[in-house]
């Protein structure tokens, strides 16, 4: 498994290859993303990153996230509070499981049984589907266990 430090260097290199500047505030934003346990909203990223780089602006956070999303190294998550949050992405096509209680997210792949549904939809609507995003929301094993525990106690 690659380390967070290696990943930070890889992201920085990708940004530079695409003509972006790798500034200190951008690096701090990337560090915060890589260290987070759950997907973070731009505001949450900004708050954490300011502990290390107090003059960081929210605009810089948004711009950095835009670049990282374009490079497909971060993934956007839709949270129930209406915020978008971001997490480091595994390369390739993945789906997402999100815990509504603690906010933990998990990517998964290899269970793409959507082809039949997509074919039916295309036939019914005339649309040609080119890609899809799938995010499932529920409870992670830990939260589910805690909830069961609470019901018993």
Contacts to Zn ion by CB under 5 A: 99, 101-102, 104, 112, 140, 143
Q: Is 87 or 99 the residue whose CB approaches Zn ion more closely?
A: 99
Closest to Zn ion by CB, 47 or 146: 146
Do the Cβ atoms of 35 and 27 come closer than 8 Å? no
Q: Which is nearer to Zn ion, 73 or 140 (CB)?
A: 140
Q: Which is nearer to Zn ion, 46 or 140 (CB)?
A: 140
β-strand partners of 135: 96
* Residue 98 Cβ vs Zn ion, minimum distance, rounded to whole Å: 9
Strands 95-99 and 135-138: parallel
Q: Are strands 95-99 and 84-88 parallel, antiparallel or unpaired?
A: unpaired
CB 86 within 8 Å of CB 98: no
**What is the closest distance, in whole angstroms, from the C-beta atom of residue 119 to Zn ion in the complex?**
14
Pick 6 or 134: Cβ nearer Zn ion: 134
- Give least dist CB 133 to Zn ion, A: 8
Alpha-carbon distance values, 53 to 28, 39, 47, 87, 99 (Å): 7, 20, 10, 20, 30
Query: How far is 32 from 38, CA to CA, in rounded Å?
Result: 11
Write down the least CB distance from residue 33 to Zn ion, Å.
Answer: 20
Compute the least distance from the CB of residue 102 to Zn ion, in Å. 3
49 near 106, Cβ under 8 Å?
A: no
């Amino acid at each position: 498994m690659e380390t967070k430090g290696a990943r930070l260097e890889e992201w920085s290199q990708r940004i530079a290859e695409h003509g972006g500047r790798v500034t200190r505030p951008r690096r701090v934003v990337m560090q915060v993303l890589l260290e987070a346990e759950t997907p973070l909203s731009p505001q949450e990223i900004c708050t954490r990153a300011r502990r290390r780089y107090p003059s960081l602006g929210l605009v810089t956070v948004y711009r950095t996230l835009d670049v990282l999303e374009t490079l497909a190294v971060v993934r956007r998550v839709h949270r129930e509070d209406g915020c978008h949050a971001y997490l480091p992405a595994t390369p390739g096509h993945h789906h997402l499981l999100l815990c509504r209680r603690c906010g933990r997210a998990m990517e998964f792949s290899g269970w793409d049984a959507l082809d039949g549904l997509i074919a039916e939809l295309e036939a019914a609507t005339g649309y040609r589907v080119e890609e899809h995003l799938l995010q499932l929301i529920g409870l992670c094993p830990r939260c589910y266990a805690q909830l069961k525990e609470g019901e018993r106690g």
